[in-house]
Amino acid sequence: MNKYESYDVLIIGCGGAGLSLALKLADHVSVVVLSKVSLVSGSTYYAQGGISAVLDQSDSVESHVKDTLNAGAGLCDEEIVRLTVEAGRKSIEWLCKQGVAFTQEMSQTGEQKLHLNREGGHSHRRVVHVTDATGKAISVSLIERAQEHPNITLLEHHNVIDLINAKKLGASEAEILGAYVLNTEIQQVQPIAAKCVVLATGGASKVYLYSSNPHISTGDGIALAWRAGCSVRNMEFMQFHPTCLYHPNGRSFLISEALRGEGGKLILPNGKTFMHNYDARGDLAPRDIVARAIDNEMKTNGIDCVYLDVSHKTSEFIQQHFPTIYQQCLSLNIDITQQAIPVVPAAHYTCGGVVTDSYARTDIARLYAIGEVASTGLHGANRMASNSLLECLVFAERASQAILAELKTLSTPNLQLPAWDESQVIDSDEEVVVSHNWDELRRFMWDYVGIVRTNKRLSRALRRIELLKDEINEYYGHFRVTSDLLELRNLLIVAELIVRCAQQRKESRGLHYTQDFPKLDESQAPQDSLLKP
């Protein structure tokens, strides 16, 4: 790099949202996409289920909207839900043009058509997929297209430290000019300038001890936006996927909801089913209900896990529809054609995030947010299965429209980005502080701010977060930055935001369940938990 590189658009994050946006912009402007680790390290690559879209004649936009609103427990923005659902078919068609080969089946008339799965909360089959490795297929196709495009620069192993705000450089108004970025391969920090910056960093599930997400899901974009002055909302709604493989060597492997969509049954160790005791929809109830049911059965019966049984299906069907899950379980000596799969809930998706409008604009000029990092109003109090990749695609398209329009009128700020100052810091001789605090945070968040909460547990968690923040802020001020330090610094902010939002909500709604207020309170008008810096 020179003193600093400059681009029209800086996209932080290389998952489905970030790469889709890059490809939609690159014919018109220069784009740089940052990946914290490798290009295939994000959550999109590991997504199994698929993308929800209305494609079957028996289905309708109204039905998809209704299902999404029901799952969101009164907090979805119906206008956002509708515009997202209406763009479903177009989004799938765009992915097909990028080379994604979705699973197909033979129609009754002898023609090939997209095979559609059904998942929890959906009243119809509407989940387009590539067997059970949809995210991998999407990631590989988008990466290949991005690598081929002359206007897209892909930078792996680049971790953003902070956004650069013009107001902190003496300007009268807040606007984002770029970011300070740590190149983790050479351990050097450089500023990158951009006319527009987009957060596409994914969620924050690694704030919990058990998560289905890759290890880099540390809430970086939410923390970056919060420090820059953006509002966040609904952070109490952390979705726990009901079925994560319970095995000492496969703890973070997700077992797709599509297994239950194809008739898989949740059972206790004695073989008895239990979901009918919790919801009329049984095994196809929304994720929050299923996760709490499993959690309750584990605590009531003193068991380490429950089981998901799909062995009544033929071996051919299982291997054809779920080859990735079949092979992963088989590598751990679990033959799912003959045996039930041991499963437990695990943190999976951040339903709240950085507040955006319908074109992905945040509170601060030149800063956008798309994908899991953003709170668009689509998910409300609980995300419905397979709406997340749809949101990535729809809001990548809408952000591209807004950014291209803005760039036509945007002037370049007459401000020089100062170099990163390391003159007052040294290399750390106390890395144990980071590793110890990281472990402590994730454990007490799991125990106190997990699937079931209380006022007392939330207060305990907040006190510990405040102590850890003091330690890490002091550490940050004395030592050179590392990826582990940056992630822990971000996770502590995210943890505080989760707790503070949870303390605002004096009821149980969607993914937030508290024993102090166990009922949904209809006397309170449904409202977001909003936090401003």
Judged by DSSP in three states, 354 sits in strand
pLDDT of residue 414: 67
Bin 174: left if φ > 0, else alpha if -120 < ψ < 50, else beta.
Answer: beta
By the 8 A CB rule, do 428 and 479 touch? yes
Bridge-based pairing state of the strands 152-155 and 31-34? parallel
What ranges make up the beta strands (E) of 58-215?
104-106, 112-114, 116-117, 127-128, 152-155, 158-165, 176-183, 188-199
Residues 6+ apart with CB under 8 A from 128: 50, 51, 52, 53, 55, 92, 102, 114, 115, 116, 134
> Which residue has tokens 């790469």?
19
Q: Are 343 and 255 in contact (CB under 8 A)?
A: yes
Question: Can you give the pLDDT at residue 253?
Answer: 85
Contact 128, 92 (CB under 8 A): yes
- Give me the pLDDT at residue 2, please: 43
What is the SS3 assignment for 287? helix
The pLDDT of residue 526: 85
Q: Which residues are within 8 A (CB) of 64 and not within 5 positions of it... i.e. 6 or more apart?
A: 52, 54, 85, 88, 122, 124, 126
Residues forming beta bridges with residue 232, ordered by sequence position: 354, 531
* Euclidean distance between CA atoms 502 and 482, whole angstroms: 30
Q: How many CB atoms lie within 10 A of CB 167?
A: 14
Residue 144: count of CB within 10 angstroms of its CB: 11
How many whole angstroms separate alpha carbon 241 and alpha carbon 342? 14
Residues 6+ apart with CB under 8 A from 302: none
Question: Which domains are seen in the chain, by residue range?
Answer: 241-348 (3.90.700.10), 431-531 (1.20.58.100)
**DSSP states of 331-344 as a string?**
TTT--TTTSPEEEE
Distances (CA, A) of 312 to 261, 344, 382: 14, 21, 31
Collect all residues with Cβ–Cβ distance below 8 Å to 356 and sequence separation of at least 6: 362, 368, 369, 370, 374, 375, 376, 395
Beta-carbon contacts of 101 under 8 Å, excluding residues fewer than 6 positions away, are 130, 137
- Closest listed residue to residue 259, CA positions, set 100, 132, 124: 132
User: Active-site residues: which are they?
Assistant: 287
Name the strand (E) or helix (H) holding 449: none
What does the angle CA 493 – CA 497 – CA 498 come to, to the nearest 5 degrees? 120
Kindly give the confidence (pLDDT) of every residue in the chain, 533 residues in length, as a single tens digit, with 9 standing for 90 and above.
447 899 999 999 999 999 999 999 999 999 999 999 999 998 999 888 899 999 999 999 999 999 999 999 999 999 999 999 999 999 999 999 999 999 999 887 778 899 999 988 899 999 999 998 999 999 999 999 999 999 999 999 999 999 999 998 888 899 999 999 999 999 999 999 999 999 999 999 999 988 989 889 999 999 999 999 999 999 999 999 899 999 887 667 889 888 998 999 999 999 999 999 999 999 998 888 899 999 889 989 999 899 999 999 999 999 999 999 999 999 999 999 999 999 999 999 999 999 999 999 999 999 999 999 999 999 999 999 899 999 999 999 999 999 999 999 987 766 788 989 888 888 877 788 898 999 999 999 998 999 999 999 999 999 999 999 999 999 998 889 999 999 999 999 999 999 999 999 999 999 999 999 999 998 877 899 999 98
Residue 279's contacts (CB-CB under 8 Å, 6 or more residues apart) are 285, 289, 290, 293
DSSP bridge pairs for 9: 31, 196
Helix (H) or strand (E) holding 240: strand 238-245
